[in-house]
Structure 1
Amino acid sequence: MMMLSNIMNENIKEFDEYDFLYFGNRTYTNIEVDRLSTIFSNYLLSEVENSGDKVIVYLANCPEVIISYQAILKAGKVVVPVMYALNAKEIQYIIEDSNVNTIITSNALLENIVKVAEKTGKKLNVIVTDNIENDAAEGSVNIHELEKIYNHSKSQNREELNISEDDLAVILYTSGTTGQPKGVMLTHRNLYISAQSAARLMKAEMWKKPTLVALPLAHSFGFTAMNTYLFLGSSVVIIERFNADEIFKAVEKHKIRTFTAVPAMIYGMVMNPNIDSYDLSSLEGVLSSSAPLPLALMEAFTKKTGTEVWQGYGLSEASPVVSTQWRGATIKPGSVGLPIDIVRVKIINDEGEELPRNEVGELAVKGLNVTPGYYQLEEETAKTIVDGWLRTGDLARIDEDGDIFIVDRKKDIIIRGGLNIFPRDSEEIIMTHPDVLEVAVIGVPDEEMGERVVAYVVKRPESVITELNVISHSQEHLAKYKTPQEVVFVDQLPRNGVGKILKRKISELYQNKVMN
C-alpha cells in the first residue's frame, strides 16, 4: 500500500541502518528517526488530551520536522506544515481554518502561538522541540517538551491503525499569492506516488548518495524531496535556513552531486562573493522548481559553477511534481521538461477544449498525485478540478516532443489595448541588462488603454541605471506595447517563504504609491 506512514520502515528494509540526517554536529540514523517518531506517535495518541485529528508543525528546518511528520502520520493524524517565517496573524488563520488543537514548534516561535491562544481563547497543546524559556506561555497553552517525551515514554512499539492510502495525510496551505491561503488536501497515495516517481527518475545519480535540503520542509517541494530521498536511501544534510555558504560547505564536505533549489536560492548562490572559495567540483547539477528561473540567472549559475541547472514544474495541488528535466535529457532553454510518468497533461482554452501543440493556453494535469480538493472549499475545488483534470492557472505550451514551456500565470496576463502581454517576456529581457539584479512586471489600471506595464526593478549596488535605460533596453528586444511604460526602483521584491515573488503585494505597493 502507498502509505507515507510506512515509508521509514520500507527505507530500513531496503537499506538497513545508515546515517540518514546531518544537522550541525549531530547525526541521526534512519533507525533512530524511526524509533523516535514511533515514541512520539504513541505519545500523541495516548498522552495529549484533545489532540484532534490534525497537527501543525511550525519549525525551521531541523531533524525534528522529519520526526514530527512521521510521528503524526504513524498516529493516523494529518500533518499541517507551516512556514516558520509566518507571523501570529497568519498562523491564527491556519489554526482557525484547519481547526487544529496541537502544534509542534520551538521556543523561538512559541511567542506567536501564545499570542494566538490569548487572542482566540483557544486552549492549545504545544509540543516544544527544545528547552522552554518563555514563562508567559504558562497558563496560555498546555506545554509538552519533546526531550521529556523521549526520556519518559513507556512504549516504543508502534500501534497499528486502520488507515488507508486514500485517507488524508497532509493539508498544505498555499502561499496566498493571489489572496487568502487555501488548504490543499493531499492523501497518502498522492504524496507517496509523487515521491516514488521522482525517485525512479533520479535513481541512477542519487541512489544511496548524499544530498542536502535547504528548501523549507514545510513547503510541498521540500516535503516531497525528503520522501524521495527515503526511497533513494540518501543521506541528507539539513540546512536550517537558506545560507549560500552553508550550502557550499555541505557540497565540499559531503561531495554532494545534486540537490534541489528554488530560483531565489540560485540567485543567492550566484551573488555570494565567496562562491569561488569552495570546492564544488563534485556538483553535477541542481534541480530548480517552484517559480520561473530567468535564463540569464541560469546561465550565470552555470558559468560560476560549471554545473547544469535542470528545471522542473509543480504545484502543491499535484503533490507537487508535474514535470522535470534531468541528467541526460535534451535541455531546451525555457522548458520545464517532460511530464513525469504518473501524469497526463494538456493545454486547454477557457472553454476547457484541448489546444494543438505549441499553442498557448492553460496547463491541465491529471494523475494519482492530484489533490482531491481544497479543505472546506467545495466551490473552489469544483472550479479547479474539472472532470478529474487539475486546472493549474498557469499558461503554457507543449511542443512537438512533449516538453512543457510555462509562459506565465493566467492571472498575471496584462491586457493593453486589447492585446495580451505576458509579463515574463518583459522580465526575461530586463534581466539581461547588466545593471539589473531582479525584476517583476505587473499590469496597473490605465484609463485609455485598459492596463499599462510597470516594472519593479532591483538594481545592482552603485548602479546609475535609470528608468529610461530600462525602457530603451526593453524596446530594443520587444515590441513597444510589451515594454514598461513606467519603472519603479526598489531595494527588494516581496517574496513568500520559498522565495516566490508576490505580485499581489507589488500591486498593493503601486496602489499605495499612487494614492500617496
Structure 2
Amino acid sequence: MDRYTDQGIGNWPTIHRVRHPHRVALIDAANGAELTFEDLDLRTNALADVLRGMGIGKGDRVALVTLNSPQMLEVIFAVAKLGGVAVPINCRLQAPEVQYILGDSGARVVFSSPQTATVVAAAVDGTDVAEIIEIPSGEQRTAGEPSRYEELITGGDTERAEADVAPDDLAMLMYTSGTTGFPKGAMLTHANHHWNAINNLVAVEGVGPRDISLAGAPLFHIGALGIFSLPLLYGGGTTVVLETFTPDAWLAAVERHRVTVAFAVPAMWAAIDAALAESETDLSSLRFGLCGGAPCPVVLIESLTRRGVRFAEGFGLTETAPIACVLDIEDTVRFAGSVGKPALHVDLKVADAQGAEVPRGTIGELLVRGPNVFVGYWNKPEASAEALRDGWFFTGDLATCDDAGYYRIVDRKKDMIVSGGENVYASEVEQVMHRHPAVGEVAVIGIPDDKWGESVTAVVAVKPDAEVSEADLITWTREQIAHFKSPRAVHFVDALPRTATGKILKRDLRKRWTEDGSAVQR
C-alpha cells in the first residue's frame, strides 16, 4: 500500500515505523511494558485486519467502554486505518446511558474492560453491536494472563490495511452531555486531530519526539486524549498510560519513567499536591504540567509552583479537539482567572447573539474558528446549524477579552457544570430527579469547590405531604445516572425563585450559597 493514500491519524504509526521503528511509542504503567512504533504499527495492522473480518470498513463505528490502556489507543489507530470511526464512551456511565450512545452511534463492535463488562453486556441489548471484545485489565496484563484480545492480534495479518482516508473524513465521535438530557456526538475529523496535534506541539514551551507524557486522566475524554497523548504519537514521542488515577501511582510513574509533560484536571492536581506534601518523589524530569477541564484555584497553582511544578493552563472543548486557548507558565498567577490567549492555529472572538464582535471588556459569547473545530453533531443537523455559523463555533460560553488579549470565561450560557473534569449538564440531572415521587421542583447548579472545581448541587421543593431526605435523594439519583453527575448536596426550599415568565432564577440560587452568584469562580 502507498502509505500516502492514508492521510488520517492511522498513518502516524506507519510513518514513525519507517522513520524510527525502535523509538518507544507507548508504555504500560501497569507493568512497564514498552511498545515501539514498529510494534504499534504491526499490532494495529493486525487488529485492523481482524476488525475488517468482522465487517468494519470506512465509516463504520467501533465503541470503547474501557479504562485507560495502551490497547485502547491501539483500537483507535486500528479503526482509523480502516477509515472507521472510534466512539470512546465514558466508562463511568450506567447501562442505559451507554445503551443510548451505542444506539445513537450505530456502533457494531464494542471494546470493554473487565471492570465495565457487566455494564456493556446490559447496554448492547437492542443495539447494532454484534461483537464485544474485552481488553485485559492492568492486573491481567501484568500476570500475563491469556486473553481473546491478544489472540485476535496474534491471528491478524500484519500487512498494512488498505484504505483511502482523507483529512476531512470522520475519525471519531466524542459524546458530550446534551441540554435536552441526551448526549450529542461531536464529529471530529482526522484533520481536526492533526491540527490539534500541531497546536499542542507549539503550546506553552512546546513538546517533541523526546518528550514523555503521562496519560493519567481518562482517555475517553478529549482532554487526556487530545492533550499530549495523540499529539505525541503524531510527533514521535512517548506516552505512559496509567489505568486509573491515584496520586501515588501518578507520582510513581513520573519518577520511574522520567515523565516530562503531564495533563490533569484540577481535582487530580489537588490530589497530587496533597500527596507531594508527604512524598519525596523525584519530579525533576517534569518540564511542566498542564491543567484543563475546569478553572484551577490560584492557591493550588501557587502550592504546586512552590513544590517545583512548573504549571500552565489550557482551555478547550470536545468540539475543538480540544486545545483552543493557553495560559502560559509565566502568566498563571499574574493573569489568574484568565484562560489565556488563542492557540497557534485558532481564532477567538467574543460576540453578540448575531456573531458580531463586541468591544474589549464586554461580556459576550465565545466563538472559535480553526482547522481543529469539529464538523457538527452526529445525526443532529439543527444542533449543528445552531453551533456552527459563518465559519465560527458558538461555544455557549460567556466570556470577555481584555485590552492585552487575554480571555476570561465568566459564565456558561448552556448551564453546564464541570466537576472533577467531567462535564455535567444541569437539565439532564434535573430530568432524572424530577422522576422521584417526592420531588415537586428541582434546580441543579454548580457550587465552587476547592477539590472538584464545581460541586453538583440540587435545590429541591418537595411535593405537599411528601417526605424525603438529602441522603435518600442522592442515593436514588446515583442509581439512575453516573455518580459524577449526581448531586453531592441537596438543599430544600419551599419554592424555587422564578421570573414573571416562569423561568427559574438560578443566579438567585447561586447567590444564596456563594458569595456573588457567579457560575465560574477562581
Which of the five TM-score ranges fits, normalised by the shorter chain? 0.7 to 0.9
Q: Secondary structure at the match of 2:360?
A: coil
Distance 1:251 1:83 in 2: 25
- Deviation at residue 54 of structure 1 after TM alignment: 0.5
Distance 1:400 1:275 in 2: 42
User: In structure 1, what is the equivalent of residue 372 of structure 2?
Assistant: 369
Superimposed CA distance per residue, residues 279-318 of structure 1 (whole angstroms, 9 cap, x where no aligned partner): 2233342100121212233223323x22232111000111
Contact 1:56 1:79 in 2 (8 A): yes
1:16-415 map, 5 Å: 16-23=21-28, 24-25=30-31, 26-48=33-55, 53-117=60-124, 119-120=125-126, 124-130=130-136, 145-153=148-156, 155-176=157-178, 179-201=181-203, 204=206, 206-224=208-226, 225-272=228-275, 275-303=278-306, 305-327=307-329, 332-412=335-415
Distance 1:498 1:163, change over 3 A: farther
- Deviation at residue 15 of structure 1 after TM alignment: 3.8
Instruction: Decide which moves more: 3-12 or 313-322.
Output: 3-12
Gap runs ≥5 in structure 1? 132-143, 415-422, 447-489
Q: Secondary structure at the match of 1:85?
A: coil
- Deviation at residue 202 of structure 1 after TM alignment: 5.8
Contact 1:61 1:217 in 2 (8 A): yes
Contact 1:54 1:102 in 2 (8 A): yes
Q: Secondary structure at the match of 2:101?
A: helix
1:21 maps to amino acid? L
Q: Secondary structure at the match of 1:86?
A: coil
Instruction: Decide which moves more: 59-68 or 107-116.
Output: 107-116
Q: Secondary structure at the match of 1:391?
A: strand
1:212 maps to amino acid? L
Instruction: Decide which moves more: 354-363 or 65-74.
Output: 354-363
User: In structure 2, what is the equivalent of residue 5 of structure 1?
Assistant: 10
Superimposed CA distance per residue, residues 242-271 of structure 1 (whole angstroms, 9 cap, x where no aligned partner): 111111112222232321111121122123
Distance 2:326 2:103 in 1: 36
Distance 1:236 1:406, change over 3 A: same
Q: Secondary structure at the match of 1:405?
A: strand
1:416-495 map, 5 Å: 427=448, 440=455
Q: Secondary structure at the match of 1:120?
A: coil
Contact 2:191 2:372 in 1 (8 A): yes
User: In structure 1, what is the equivalent of residue 517 of structure 2?
Assistant: none
Contact 1:22 1:238 in 2 (8 A): yes
Distance 1:95 1:179, change over 3 A: same
Contact 2:103 2:127 in 1 (8 A): no
- Deviation at residue 275 of structure 1 after TM alignment: 4.3
Distance 2:246 2:196 in 1: 28
Contact 1:33 1:67 in 2 (8 A): yes
- Deviation at residue 112 of structure 1 after TM alignment: 1.8
Q: Secondary structure at the match of 2:279?
A: helix
Distance 1:395 1:150, change over 3 A: same
- Deviation at residue 152 of structure 1 after TM alignment: 2.2
- Deviation at residue 159 of structure 1 after TM alignment: 2.4
Distance 1:221 1:332 in 2: 22
- Deviation at residue 76 of structure 1 after TM alignment: 1.3
- Deviation at residue 328 of structure 1 after TM alignment: 6.0
Contact 1:362 1:396 in 2 (8 A): yes
Instruction: Decide which moves more: 386-395 or 46-55.
Output: 46-55
Distance 1:498 1:37, change over 3 A: farther
Contact 1:52 1:100 in 2 (8 A): no
Distance 1:252 1:49 in 2: 40
Superimposed CA distance per residue, residues 422-445 of structure 1 (whole angstroms, 9 cap, x where no aligned partner): x99x84xx85xxxx9876487969
Distance 1:257 1:275, change over 3 A: farther
Superimposed CA distance per residue, residues 154-185 of structure 1 (whole angstroms, 9 cap, x where no aligned partner): x2111221221111110000145773211001
Contact 2:59 2:85 in 1 (8 A): no
Distance 1:341 1:90, change over 3 A: same
- Deviation at residue 364 of structure 1 after TM alignment: 0.4
Contact 1:215 1:498 in 2 (8 A): no
Superimposed CA distance per residue, residues 64-89 of structure 1 (whole angstroms, 9 cap, x where no aligned partner): 10110011010111000112222211
Identity %: 30
Distance 2:308 2:396 in 1: 34
Distance 1:50 1:280 in 2: 44
User: In structure 1, what is the equivalent of residue 508 of structure 2?
Assistant: none
Distance 1:343 1:7, change over 3 A: same
Distance 1:347 1:206, change over 3 A: same
Distance 1:510 1:173, change over 3 A: farther
Contact 2:177 2:183 in 1 (8 A): yes
- Deviation at residue 332 of structure 1 after TM alignment: 1.9
- Deviation at residue 392 of structure 1 after TM alignment: 0.7
Q: Secondary structure at the match of 2:411?
A: strand
Distance 1:156 1:102 in 2: 21
Contact 2:314 2:327 in 1 (8 A): yes
Distance 1:159 1:207, change over 3 A: closer
Larger RCO, structures 1/2 (Cα 8 Å, 6+ apart): 2
Distance 2:38 2:413 in 1: 46
Q: Across the two proteins, how many residue pairs are aligned to each other? A: 436
Superimposed CA distance per residue, residues 188-245 of structure 1 (whole angstroms, 9 cap, x where no aligned partner): 1111111122113367554412221102111111222311112332222111111111
User: In structure 2, what is the equivalent of residue 451 of structure 1?
Assistant: none
Distance 1:121 1:506 in 2: 30
2:203 maps to amino acid? L
